[in-house]
Amino acid sequence: MCVELRSLTALSSASDLMKNYSDRSYVRALLVCGAALSAYAGSVVRDRLGNPQTALISNSDRLLASRSKGAMDLNETEYFHELADLLKDHYVDPVNDETKLANGAVRGMVGSLGDVNSVYMDQNQFQTYQNQLKGEFAGIGVETYYEPDKGELTPDEKLNENVYGFRYPKVVIGAVLEGSAAQRAGLLAGDHVVSIDGHWIIDTAEIRAYQRLARKNPTDKASLDELTRLRKRLRLESDDGITPGRAVDRLTSGTTGAIQLVVNRNGETKSFTVNKADLQTPVVDASNGLVKHIVFGPTTVQLLRKAIEGKPQVTIDLRNNVVGDYVEMKNCLAVLAPSGVYGSLVGRGGGTSVFDIKSPDAHHPTVKVIVDSTTKGPAEIFAKALAQCPGNSIAGSMPKEDVPVVKSFNLPQGAGYTLATALYREGR
Amino acid sequence: MKTLRALLWTFAFAILFTAGFVHKDFRSGRPVSLSQILLLAKQEDSSATADRVFKENYNRIEANYYKPVNTRDLQYAGYQGMFASLGDPHTNFLPPPIAREFDVQTHASFVGIGARVESNSLGGRFVTIFPNSPAQEAGIIPGDVITAVDGVATAGKTVDEVVDRIRGKEGTKVKVRILRDNKKVINLTLKRREIIAPTVTDAYLDGPQVAYVQIATFSAPTASQFDKALDRVMAKPVRGLVIDLRGDPGGYLETAIDLISRFVEDKLVLRMKSFGGKEEIATGYSGSLRNIKVPIVLLVDSETASAAEIFAGNLKDYHIATLVGEHTYGKNEVQDVFPLKDGSTAKITIAKYLLPSTPDIGRKVDEDGRFISGGIEPDFKVNVDPDLVVEFGNPSKDPVLQRALDVIKSKTN
């Protein structure tokens, strides 16, 4: 029954979510999410069960939508302008800030990509991100990343992706910072966040399970009981739901108070109470040729150059390393590696270009890098590239997969976003 | 009277929309050419910046994202985000597929075979079959897959193409080949006809001798359906009238005024404040009063919204009815709908309204989207276990209705 709810029923609740949850992205996902979540509102369920008329009208005949299809070729920029004027002329409150509209549009576009690495950030979120690149952390002292919900859709579900394809990524603790409250509380890299302060991050695999069962229109008692169980669980979670973006906000911002955190660690649920605090970390933590913590940010390249100056050999520990800027990472790579090609960049449709470094330096140290599964993003590319220099060595292992190349861009009013522009593939 | 007429004209275009989880909106059906508006508008400097930001980032995403991008979808996602940035959940840009769905859902009547389909690799899969529709009479059941229309195979066609083929004039016939359970092929010929969705249902509750009328939406045919329901159900001896507005997302303001005028005459229905602070009022009319002498109870919940809320609020403010249930949704806005030539639709909040004496019912939520305040508080609050399977209209399985019956009993004793 609930499966019949369409994206339309989601419209308002979805924008409710967009507004209230100030999520980093997933606008498209949220639109769909509304459809998915609305199905679990208890009283809607009551309507559907007890009220065939309501169901009938809200599922009116799609077969005969009688709209005259005027063909108007969209000119993207003009259309934006025209819509802005329409809002200015009719919206109940004055619309003075058109830049806000443009930022909103970017948010919508980035969100529509449904990519865990392409993320819109409002002013506060972008500030948090930039602070992290300078080694200034807040919240509980962790770095996080999004893990996509990779659940497969059946061919029929794929055709109706707006109904069945809703996915939330999982929020994963990527790194626990040295000296942080998170470290003292016992959080570990790899912990999957289940809930924060009683707010659940919906597991979208559960929504699919529910939809699949409901779609079969089952009549046997076992299936109906299972449907009721899934529906109740999803209702409880969505009543107190939180988007992944806002969950990350809670983990990484604020310097006072504490948060209640429930994580999933290898299938086991664990609860923590963790204080929030400021945490200033050096972006290059170097002594005696060992670089322990490196954050690829705007000041990192100078500090790194200084740290390795005159040293024939350095060890770089890249474990617990998730946050970083791709361009700055490449600058740092040029300090450690001679000019050359260190991999390829795979773009749209499989087209490749070279990943090359132009080093300004004549001499480069021999590098030993230490990695593990907590070496992510720019650090992962950094390690894979360095490992290709003759004489260098790598300790620990990383997944063989291609690594997304993620660049960040500024928007007006302090907002920004990241965009995955290619996949880095090792090998020359 | 002159004022009233002017107002009614205004309201012919000002339509109420609802929100919440199940919502249906109604459109004015007045296509607007955006380029006409553009001709009248002046280009301003601030908008030039916004244009540039939009264009730059659109181009960047379109050109640099590492996977193929559907440019049309990207633009539409942008417009959706643009509308969402106003922070008003009821102001939305609807891309063509959603606009089409919206359009269909807003009409309580349409010509069709009375079914709803979704995409399928073979053409389309029936999801819902309407009662008393050609589709139901032909024996189509949910899950059946369309493989051909009028002898033309539909495999690989989009659901819209399939829909276009099935569409047609009232009284004409369409041949549909369906596949059932992946094995059985069935050929059917169906006659297209107009299907008017019932928006009002009624029942006579024998034991307590109470009339029960349920209004699902405030659509165009609702007022006459309501009159017929009352005629039927009030013909018996009744000690009270229960009007069930639970889950009713509203609809046309005119329909709300129609129904209110069954209970009070010539009273203020609402005050509306639009862009620039312009105020207007809407008033009921005389001549349609139903002379109901028994206690009236309205059942409301958090999905009672928009026109249904106005109806409930007026009957409460004029002391016509007692409200039982949960607080209503809290929608104090009016939207207008602008169908655009490319098939998309802009839905924009154009005004806010106040009920005759209830203070502003505007819904407030916290930063996590949870309800803080708003809506109309019922006179008698009933909290229902959200996982309880309620049978609307069956007092033994409907705690809110049971409470309403108790209220009627206490008033008639």
Give the confidence band of A48 by pLDDT, cuts at 50, 70, 90: very low
- Residue B298 dihedral angles phi and psi, to the nearest 5°: -105, 135
**Any idea which of A44-48, A362-366, B292-296, B348-352 has the lowest mean pLDDT?**
A44-48
Q: What is the structure's pLDDT at B165?
A: 85
Cβ–Cβ below 8 Å for A66 and B110: yes
Residues B130 and B20 in one domain: no
Cβ–Cβ contact A44 with B under 8 A: yes
B105 is catalytic: no
Q: Tell me what the mean pLDDT of segment B180-192 comes to.
A: 93
Check residue B19 and give its pLDDT.
Answer: 26
Note whether B154 and B114 are within 8 A (CB). no
List the structure tokens of B336.
């207008």
For residues A71 and A361, the model is more confident at A361
Q: What is the pLDDT of residue A54?
A: 28
Q: What is the pLDDT of residues A159-176, one digit of tens each?
A: 777 678 778 899 999 999
Backbone torsions φ then ψ of B147, nearest 5 degrees: -115, -20
Which of A43, A87, A421 is closest, CB to CB, to B65?
Answer: A421
Please give the pLDDT value at position B69.
93
Higher pLDDT, B391 or B142: B142
Q: What pLDDT digit, counting tens, does each position of B130-141 carry?
A: 778 899 999 999
Mutate to test the interface with A, among B23, B52, B54, B163 (most CBs of A within 10 A): B54
Q: Can you give the pLDDT at residue A83?
A: 92
Q: Are residues B16 and B148 in the same domain?
A: no
pLDDT at B107: 62
Both B50 and B77 in a single domain?
A: yes
**pLDDT computed for residue A51 by the predictor:** 29
DSSP for B111-170, written as a single string: EE-SEEEEEETTEEEEEEE-TTSHHHHTT--TT-EEEEETTEE-TT--HHHHHHHH---T
Range of the domain at B319: 1-104+198-413
Number of domains in chain B: 2
Closest Cβ–Cβ partner in B114, B301, B388 for A61:
B114
Residues facing B193 on adjacent strands:
B112
Residues B305-324 have a mean pLDDT of: 96
| Res B228 pLDDT > 90 | yes
pLDDT tens digits, residue range A299-355? 999 999 999 988 999 999 999 999 999 999 999 999 999 999 999 999 988 889 999
The residue among B251, B343, B349 whose CA lies nearest residue B31 is: B343
Of the residues B214, B225, B302, B335, which is catalytic?
Answer: B335
For the ranges A154-168, A218-232, B9-23, the maximum mean pLDDT occurs at A218-232
Give the per-residue pLDDT at B6. Answer: 30
Find the mean pLDDT for residues A100-127.
94
Q: Which residues of A touch B85 (CB under 8 A)?
A: 100-101, 103-105, 107
How many angstroms separate the CA atoms of B272 and A423, rounded?
Answer: 55
User: Hey, is the C-beta of A358 within 8 angstroms of any chain B C-beta?
Assistant: no
Query: Does residue B46 carry a catalytic annotation?
Result: no
Is residue A85 predicted with pLDDT exceeding 60? yes
When mean pLDDT is compared across A35-49, A203-217, A334-348, A384-398, the lowest value belongs to: A35-49
A residues 147-186 closer than 8 Å to B (CB): 155-156, 159-160, 162-163
Q: Please give the structure tokens belonging to residue B263.
A: 């209970």
Which has the minimum average pLDDT: A164-178, B2-16, B314-328, B389-403? Answer: B2-16
pLDDT at A361 over 90: no
Q: What is the 3-state composition of chain A as percent helix, strand, coil, each rounded to the nearest 5?
A: 40, 25, 35
What is the spatial distance between Cα A166 and Cα B46, in angstroms, rounded to a whole number? 36
ipTM of the complex: 0.81
Residue of chain B minimizing CA distance to A34: B21
pLDDT at A295 over 60: yes
In terms of domains, do B213 and B309 share one? yes
Chain B contacts in chain A segment 88-147 (CB below 8 A): 88-113, 115, 118
Q: How confident is the model at residue B116 (pLDDT cuts 50, 70, 90)?
A: confident
Question: Which of these ranges, A138-147, A179-188, B10-19, B157-166, has the smallest mean pLDDT?
Answer: B10-19
Spatial CA neighbour of A165 closest among A155, A180, A175? A155
Question: What pLDDT sits at residue A183?
Answer: 97
**Disruptive mutation site among A3, A11, A239 for chain B (greatest number of B CBs within 10 Å):** A11
Answer yes or no: do B368 and A199 touch at CB < 8 A: yes
Q: What is the mean pLDDT of chain B?
A: 83
CB contact under 8 A, B85 and A49: no
| CATH code, domain carrying B138 | 2.30.42.10
**Is A83 within 8 Å of chain B by CB?**
yes
> Amino acid identity, residue B72?
R
Q: How far apart are CA A235 and CA A118, in angstroms?
A: 29
With an 8 Å Cβ cutoff, are B83 and A104 in contact? yes
Nearest CA to CA, how far is A379 from chain B (Å)?
Answer: 20
The residue among B229 and B345 whose pLDDT is bigger is B229
Question: Shortest CA distance to A6 belongs to which of B99, B385, B58?
Answer: B99
Reduce the DSSP state of residue B78 to 3 states and report it: helix
Across the interface, which of A8, A20, A45 has its CB nearest the CB of B369?
Answer: A20
CB pairs under 8 A between A and B: 415
| Closest to B89 measured CA to CA, from A38, A37, A12, A10 | A12
Structure confidence by residue, pLDDT tens digits, B49-94: 898 999 999 999 999 999 999 999 999 999 999 999 998 888 899 9
- Strand-pair category, B380-381 with B322-325: parallel
Q: Cα–Cα distances in Å, from A276 out to A181, A271, B67?
A: 7, 16, 38
Q: Which residue of B has its CA nearest to A7?
A: B98
Say if residue B328's pLDDT is above 50: yes
Based on the fold, state whether residues B395 and B299 are members of the same structural domain.
yes
Residue B287 has a CB neighbour count (10 Å cut-off) of 7
Measured CA distances, B181 to A210, A216, A421, B147, B185 (Å) = 21, 11, 44, 13, 9
Nearest residue to A145 via CA among A129, A123, A127, A122 = A129
B224 and B151: one domain?
Answer: no
pLDDT value at position A362? 85
The Cα B391–Cα B212 span in angstroms is: 13
Confidence band, pLDDT 50/70/90 cuts, at residue B105: low
* Cβ partners under 8 Å of residue B370, min gap 6: A240
Q: What mean pLDDT comes out for the span A133-138?
A: 95
**B44 CB contacts (<8 Å, ≥6 apart)?**
none
Of these residues, B306, B316, B344, B347, which one is catalytic?
A: B306
**Interface mutation vs chain B, best among A21, A31, A62, most B CBs within 10 Å:** A62
Percentage of chain B modeled with pLDDT above 70: 86
CATH of A2-58+77-275, one of 3.30.70.100, 3.30.465.10, 2.30.42.10, 3.40.50.2300: 2.30.42.10
Predicted confidence (pLDDT) at residue A62 exceeds the cutoff of 70: no
**Residues B70, B88 within the same domain:** yes
Check residues A380 and B25 and name the one with the higher pLDDT: A380
Q: For B324-330, what is the mean pLDDT?
A: 94
Among B143, B164, B196, residue at a domain's last position: B196
Pick the last residue of a domain from B147, B175, B196: B196
CA distances from A362 to A123, A336, A338, A385 (A): 41, 10, 8, 18
Length of chain A (residues): 428
Quote the percentage of chain B above a pLDDT of 90.
47
User: CA–CA separation, A72 vs B58, rounded Å?
Assistant: 20
Task: Quote the CA–CA distance of B324 and B296 in Å, as a whole number.
Answer: 11
Q: Is residue A416 very low, low, confident or very high in pLDDT (cuts 50, 70, 90)? A: very high
Give the gyration radius of chain A's Cα atoms: 24
A78 touches chain B (CB under 8 A): yes
Q: Which candidate, A308, A298, A287, A285, places its Cα nearest to that of A177?
A: A285
Work out the minimum CA distance from A365 to partner chain B, whole angstroms.
Answer: 34
Half-sphere exposure of A287 (CA within 13 A, CB side): 1
| Residue of chain B nearest A32, judged by CA positions | B98
pTM, entire model: 0.78
User: B320 and B288 share a domain?
Assistant: yes
Query: Among A18-22, A292-296, A388-392, where is mean pLDDT lowest?
Result: A18-22
Closest Cα in chain B to A108: B81
Together in a domain, B98 and B134: no
B335 catalytic residue (yes or no):
yes
pLDDT of residue B153: 92
User: What are the domain boundaries of chain A?
Assistant: 2-58+77-275, 282-425
Q: Please tell me whether residues B218 and B324 are part of one structural domain.
A: yes
Query: Same structural domain for residues B254 and B177?
Result: no
A43: which chain B residues are within 8 Å (Cβ-Cβ)?
246-247, 301-303, 384, 386
Distance CA A336, CA A359 (A): 8
Using DSSP, state whether B93 is helix, strand or coil: strand
User: Which CATH fold would you assign to the domain A282-425?
Assistant: 2-enoyl-CoA Hydratase; Chain A, domain 1 (3.90.226)
pLDDT average, residue stretch A129-149: 94
The last residue of a domain, from among B168, B196, B224: B196
Mutate to test the interface with B, among A24, A57, A58, A103 (most CBs of B within 10 A): A57
